[in-house]
Amino acid sequence: MREIMAGWGRRVPGLAALGCALALAACGGGDDGGGGGEAGKPATLKVGVIPIADVAPLYVGIDQGFFKAEKLTIQPQLAEGGAAIVPAVVSGDNQIGFSNTTSLIIAASKKLPVQIISQGVLGGKGADDAFDALLVAKGSKIRGPEDLEGKTIAVNTLNNVGPLTINRSLEKEGVDYRSVKYVEVPFPDMNAALESGRVDAAWVVEPFFSQGRGSGAKALLNPFEETAPNLTVATYFASKQYIEQNRDVVDRFKRAMDKSLEYSASNPDAVRKAVLGYTKIPPKAAESMQLPQWQADLNEPTIKQTADLAKKYGFVEQAPPLDELILRQG
């Protein structure tokens, strides 16, 4: 397990030092995070999330009492990206996490004990309802995707869904994706990095997409939508150890999350209100942003596509079987 975590640390800068602690936690021991084995027992769950619009249904579900009805108390834990949330879940610091599927596929390929337990967020059907974009600053000399060769692109974390879908989009446009350089920038700092000239382009999701457009930035690509319509971008997951010890809690979380996803899809005002509570965007930006797509169904074909692309672009040597990555009901 130490070798597995060391490999994960090399792929995700800054995590290598956690290898030993994570290995000990992943191989056994630790508490149950308030879950317990008794069916219906109240539980408190620390859930790792990112301060972006994607995770709004979790907060909506809290506000609407969907988790309370399942005797669950949710404590969101903010992080910069799914790649940072994975170790927190494996170590037991968080019981559940939100992560892009690419990071989970990488983790599973390294034999880390993670499983998808619920849908998180999907991309749009096309450019008209995209909530992600590759932006260039107002007045940039970059006019089209072909001008990105050799340029620097900001993403929230390396080797995740951002670079993967950007690679796919550039390849479809006939651009050599191998020529671009990716640098890490937290989502809240993306537009500032773009405006200052620190990067040539920035990959953003809502609410930072709308903020960038409001400052005159131009969208060159919508990577999620160009990769696949209704792409499963991210999901909620837990460690296999936690699932084994707390299956009833996990099942209750999924039931509440499914309700939250479907409710959020039909109640945009509740979503916009929730986003204001955990991001620092102004109310006008929340009103104008393009909301992501949510549904309870995992859309597994797009998860399989992501796994295939992860192998193609060298993110993994071998894609993990979906039956091992996804927790099956029953």
Q: Is the pLDDT of residue 1 over 80?
A: no
**Is the Cβ–Cβ distance between 66 and 197 less than 8 Å?**
no
Rounded Cα distance, 202 and 133, in Å: 8
Q: 121-171, pLDDT tens digit by residue?
A: 999 999 999 999 999 999 999 999 999 999 999 999 898 999 999 999 999
Mean pLDDT, to the nearest integer, of 25-32?
41
What tokens were used for 167? Answer: 């690679």
What tokens were used for 98? Answer: 């939100």
Q: 78-98, pLDDT tens digit by residue?
A: 987 766 799 999 999 999 999
Q: What is the pLDDT of residue 18?
A: 39
Name the DSSP class of 16: G
Rounded Cα distance, 55 and 58, in Å: 6
Q: What is the pLDDT of residue 265?
A: 97
148 and 289 co-located in one domain: no
Q: Smallest Cα–Cα separation from 62: which of 310, 195, 256?
A: 256
Residue 16 maps to which CATH number?
3.40.190.10
116 and 158 co-located in one domain: no
Q: What is the pLDDT of residue 84?
A: 78
Residue 74, beta-bridge partner list:
45
Q: Is the pLDDT of residue 33 over 70?
A: no
- Which of 175, 204, 227 is a domain's end point? 227
Q: Cα separations (Å) of 96 from 9, 45, 235, 285?
A: 20, 7, 10, 29
Q: 201-250, pLDDT tens digit by residue?
A: 999 999 899 889 989 999 999 999 999 999 999 999 999 999 999 999 99
Q: Is the pLDDT of residue 11 over 80?
A: no
Q: What is the pLDDT of residue 288?
A: 87
41 and 73 co-located in one domain: yes
Q: Is the pLDDT of residue 7 over 50?
A: no
118 and 246 co-located in one domain: yes
Q: What is the pLDDT of residue 37?
A: 55
63 and 132 co-located in one domain: no
Rounded Cα distance, 250 and 1, in Å: 25
Which pLDDT band holds residue 2 (cuts at 50, 70, 90)?
very low
Mean pLDDT, to the nearest integer, of 187-201?
96
214 and 173 co-located in one domain: yes
Rounded Cα distance, 282 and 270, in Å: 16
Mean pLDDT, to the nearest integer, of 59-66?
98
Q: Is the pLDDT of residue 257 over 50?
A: yes
Peptide bond before 207: cis, by omega within 30 degrees of 0? yes
For residue 21, is it within any domain?
yes
- Which of 227, 244, 273 is a domain's end point? 227
Mean pLDDT value across the chain: 89
For residue 330, is it within any domain?
no
Q: Is the pLDDT of residue 4 over 90?
A: no
Mean pLDDT, to the nearest integer, of 50-73?
96
What tokens were used for 42? Answer: 């109240």
What tokens were used for 46? Answer: 């620390």
Q: Which domain holds residue 192?
A: 127-227
Q: How many domains does the chain have?
A: 2
Q: What is the pLDDT of residue 285?
A: 82
Give the residue, 323 or 8, on which the prediction is more confident: 323
